[in-house]
Chain A
Amino acid sequence: MDIRTKLVFALVAVALGSMTAFGAFMYAEARGMVDDGTRAQLESLAESEAEAVESIIEGWREHVQLIASRTQLRMSLRDHIQTGDPEAARRIRQILRDAGSSTSSVAGLAVYDVEGRLVADGVGEADSVLAGMSTRSSPGTANEIAFRGVSITPGGFPRVAYSRSLSLEGERLGTLFVLLNGGRLVELTQDYTGLGETGEVLLVERAPAGARTLHPVRHEEDDLEQPGAILLDGPQDPSLLALRAQEGIYTEGLIDYRGEAVWAATRFIPETQWGLVVKFDAAEKRDVIVEFRDSLIALALSLAGIAILVAVVLGFRFAGPIHNLAEAANRIREGDLEARAEVLREDEIGLLAETFNRMADELEERVAELHEFKKFFEVSPEMLCIAGTDGYFKRANPAFSRVLGWGDEQLLGSPFYDLVHPDDLEATQQEIDKLSRGIPTISFVNRFRCEDGSYKRLRWNSYPEPETGLLYAIAREIEDPQAS
C-alpha cells in the first residue's frame, strides 16, 4: 500500500473514531437534555393545566353559591312547601330562569324538595339529566356545594352538575341543582399552545371500561361513534394512572388511544375525581433526537471526508519526494550517473535525498576512477587477468585474445587447466596450490594452447588474495627456447 493510502486510512480511522466518540457523547447529552426538557415541559404544563381546571371549578362553585344565596329563592321555596302555593313555584321558576339567563355558563337549573320531588326547573333541556342525578343522592351537609357528575351532550360537549342544599333559618327546604356548561374545559383542552405537533391535554373521568374524555380529542379517529368525548380503554393509557391519582411524569410504557407510545404527565383533580393528562407522542420527541443524530452522523462523515482530502494532499507531499528519490535511483541503476534527487525540504526526507545525492556523487567519482583503471586493463599490451583458485578465469583483458586467439567466452567458460599444455599441467596445479596458500608466483612459465592449436609459452607473475580466492595475474609471452 502506498503512503498516501495508508495516511488516508489512518486519518479517516482517527477522524471517524474520534468523531464517533464525540458524536456519541453529544448524542447522549442531547438526548438527556431533550429528555429533561420534555420532563420539565410536561411538569409545568400539567401544573398549569391543573390550576386552570381548578379555577374553572372554582368559578362554577361561585356560580352555584351565588344562585343558592338568593333569599328570595329560599323564601319562595318555604312558601311553596308550607302552602303548596303554585304562585310560589312560579316565582321560583322565574328566579331560576333569571339566574340561568344571566350567564351563559349555566345550562340548566332545578329545585327539588327534601323528598326529591321537582319543585321547579329553569332551563328546560336539562331537567331529565338533573332528575336522574337528584334521585340518586342528595347532599349530606347543609350549605355544601357538591359536584354531582358530568354528562356529555349528543354534540359531544360536557355538562357539569352541581348541587347545593337550600335551607332557611336552620330548616332544610330542598336542593338546588345547577347544570353548568363545560365549554371552558373544552377550550382549555383544545388550546395546543406549547404542545408541539402531537401534544394534547386530556381531562378524563372514570367510565365502566376505563376512562372517558370530557371533550373532543386532538387526533380524532375516523371511526368514532360520536364526536367529542371518547372512551379510553387501553390498559396502558396514561389516563388510568391519572384516575388512580398516580401523579407523575412517565416516559416509558404508555400507549394512548391511537396506539402511539407517549410521554405523559398525570394529575388527579380530587373534587371532581377527574384525571388530567398532558402527553406528547414519544416519536415527536424522538424525532428531534433522531434528526440531531442523523445530522451528527452526516457531519462526522463529511468532516472525515475532509480528512481524506487532507491525507491525500499530505500523502502526495510525503510520497512525492520519495518517488523522486526512487526515480533517481532507478536512473542511476540504468547508467545515468548524473541523476540526482531534488532536495526541496529540510525534513527527514530532505535529509535522505541529500544523503542519497552525496552517495551518488561518491559513486560517480568511484565509477570514474574505476573507468580509468578499466581503461588501463583494456589497453595494456600485457596479458592481465583475474582468476580463481577454482581454476577459472574471472576476467581477462583483450591482450589475452590477441595473444591466444580465444574469445572471452571460451576463456572464461571452461577451466584454464584445459588450455594448459598436458606436460605443464602438474606444475601449474602445484603453482595454484601455492597461490591458494597465499604465496605469490614469480616468473612461473607454462604453455597455453592457442585457438589454432599451437602452444605459446607464458611467464606468469601472480598475487593471490586468499580471502576471496582470487588471483591477480600478469602474463607475458616469451620466446620458445627450442624455437630460437
Chain B
Amino acid sequence: MSSTLYIQLAGGLVYLLWGGDLLVRGAVALARRYHVSPMVIALTVVAFGTSLPEMVVVLQASLTGSPGLVLGNVVGSNIANVLFVAGAAAAVYPLTYGERSVRRDSVVMIAASVLLIVLCFGGVLTRLGGGVLLAGLVVVMAVTAREAAEAYRNADLKTPMEWVLGLPGKTGTIVLFIVVGAIGLPVGAKLVVGASVEIAAELGISESVVGLTILAFGTSLPELATTLMAALHKRTEVAVGTIIGSNIFNVLAIMGVGAVVSPSPIAVAPGFFTVDFPVMIGTAVLLSAFVWLRRPIGRVAGVSFVIAYVTYIVMLLLRTGG
C-alpha cells in the first residue's frame, strides 16, 4: 500500500507541474491574442502562474482540514530552497548575485519570516493573520512592480524557441490548455495532499512533518531543476534572487491564502517554535549574510548547506519517532 502512496505523491506532483505549465501557457497565449503587453504578461500570469502548484496544494490541504500540511509546506519549502536548492546548485557552480535589489529583498525575506512567526505566537495562525500576510504581499508587490517592469524592459527579450513553440495558437488549443491545466492542478493537489496525509498516518508522523519534508521537497523540485540547470550552464546570477523571491512569496502569498481560506485557524505545533521557525530564520539570515557580504556561495558552502539540510530532515524524522 505504501509504495502506491509514493507513486501517488510523485504522480500528483507531475500533475501539479504539468497543469501549472499548461495553464500558464494557455493564459499567455490568450493574453497575447488580446494584445496584452508581454511585460504585463510576464509580471502577472507567468510570475503567479509558476506558484500555482504550491497554491492549489495549500488550498486543497486547507479546505480538507489538513492545515498542518500548509504551514509545514511553507516553512519546509523555505528551508529547502536555501539549504537544498541553493546548496546543490552552489556545489555545482558558485552562486553570484547579479541584481542590485537582492540585498533589499533578502531583508524583506527575513522580515516576512519574522512576521509569520509573530503572527503564530498565539499557537494558531488566524484568518486575520493570513490577511496581514496578504497585506504584506500587496505592499511588497507595489514597491517591486515598478522595478520588475524596469528589469523586464532591460532583460534579454530573445525568447527561446521551446517557449514560442509551446504557446498554443488555435483557439481550440488555447481552450484545451487552459481546461486541462485547470483540471490537472486540483487533481494533482488532491493526489498529493491525500498521499501526504496517508503517508503521515502510515509512518506515524505528524502532518506538519510530512509538509516540512516530503511535500516541501516535492514542491521545491521545479526550483531545484531550474537552478541546477542554470548552475550546469554556469549562469547562476539570478539563482539567489529567484530563491529569495520564492521564499517571500511562499510566506506572504501561499501562507496568507492558506490561513485565509482555512475553515478554522491553523494550529501551530510547538515543534515549530523550538526547531522549524528558528531553522527557517537561521537559513534566511545565512543566505542574507552571503548576499550582504557579497561573497559568492562557493562549493564548500554549497556542500555544507546540503549536509545541513539532510541533517535537519533526519532530525525532524527522529523527533517524531518516524
**Residues on B with beta carbons closer than 8 Å to the beta carbon of A306:** 7, 10-11, 14
Residue of A nearest to B188 (CB): A305
B156 within 8 A of A: no
- The answer to whether A1 touches B168, judged by C-beta atoms less than 8 angstroms apart, is yes
- A8, A295, A299, A323: the one contacting B18 at CB < 8 Å is A8
Whole-angstrom distance between the Cβ of A12 and the nearest chain B Cβ: 9
Whole-angstrom distance between the Cβ of A263 and the nearest chain B Cβ: 27
A2-B165, A4-B166, A326-B161 as given contacts; A303 in contact with B7, CB under 8 Å: yes
- The answer to whether A308 touches B8, judged by C-beta atoms less than 8 angstroms apart, is no
Binary flags per residue of A1-12, CB closer than 8 Å to B gives 1, else 0: 110110011000
A304 within 8 A of B: yes
- The answer to whether A302 touches B11, judged by C-beta atoms less than 8 angstroms apart, is yes
A21 within 8 A of B: no
Binary flags per residue of A304-334, CB closer than 8 Å to B gives 1, else 0: 1110110010000001000100110000000
A2-B162, A4-B166, A306-B7 as given contacts; A301 in contact with B187, CB under 8 Å: yes
Count of A residues near B, CB < 8 Å? 22
- B15, B166, B173: the one contacting A308 at CB < 8 Å is B15
- The answer to whether B11 touches A304, judged by C-beta atoms less than 8 angstroms apart, is yes
A52 within 8 A of B: no
A1-B168, A2-B162, A5-B166 as given contacts; A298 in contact with B8, CB under 8 Å: yes
**Residues on B with beta carbons closer than 8 Å to the beta carbon of A304:** 11
- The answer to whether B11 touches A295, judged by C-beta atoms less than 8 angstroms apart, is no
- The answer to whether B162 touches A309, judged by C-beta atoms less than 8 angstroms apart, is no
- The answer to whether B166 touches A301, judged by C-beta atoms less than 8 angstroms apart, is no
- The answer to whether B12 touches A302, judged by C-beta atoms less than 8 angstroms apart, is yes
- The answer to whether B194 touches A309, judged by C-beta atoms less than 8 angstroms apart, is no
B303 within 8 A of A: no
A8-B18, A305-B10, A306-B11 as given contacts; A299 in contact with B165, CB under 8 Å: no
Residue of A nearest to B173 (CB): A1
- B4, B161, B191: the one contacting A305 at CB < 8 Å is B191
**Residues on A with beta carbons closer than 8 Å to the beta carbon of B191:** 298, 301-302, 305
A308–B191 alpha-carbon span in the complex (Å)? 15
* B173-191 at interface with A (beta carbon < 8 Å): 173, 180, 187-188, 191
**Residues on B with beta carbons closer than 8 Å to the beta carbon of A303:** 7, 11
Which of A4, A298, A302, A309 counts the most B-chain CB atoms under 10 A from its CB? Answer: A302
* A5-52 at interface with B (beta carbon < 8 Å): 5, 8-9
- The answer to whether A305 touches B166, judged by C-beta atoms less than 8 angstroms apart, is no
A304–B15 alpha-carbon span in the complex (Å)? 9
**Residues on A with beta carbons closer than 8 Å to the beta carbon of B165:** 2, 319, 323
Residue of A nearest to B18 (CB): A308
Whole-angstrom distance between the Cβ of A228 and the nearest chain B Cβ: 39
Residue of B nearest to A304 (CB): B11
**Residues on B with beta carbons closer than 8 Å to the beta carbon of A323:** 161-162, 165
**Residues on A with beta carbons closer than 8 Å to the beta carbon of B9:** 302
Which of A2, A5, A305 counts the most B-chain CB atoms under 10 A from its CB? Answer: A305
